[in-house]
Amino acid sequence: MNHNRRYTMRNFTAIALPFIFAAGLSGMMFTATLV
């Protein structure tokens, strides 16, 4: 049960990490264009 939850969390992190990275990158690009 606990192992399954940890696997789900790791899977969620693997999915969410690229989105967070892309969001931060686009935010930096937007700030760079603004300035």
State how far the Cα of 23 lies from the Cα of 35, in Å rounded to an integer. Answer: 18
Domain ranges, ordered by start, for the chain: 1-35
Question: Each residue of 1-35: pLDDT tens digit?
Answer: 567 888 888 888 899 999 999 999 999 999 999 88
pLDDT value for 1: 58
pLDDT value for 33: 93
- Residue position matching structure tokens 């899977």: 11
Model-level pTM?
A: 0.55
| DSSP assignment string, 1-35 | -HHHHHHHHHHHHHHHHHHHHHHHHHHHHHHHHH-
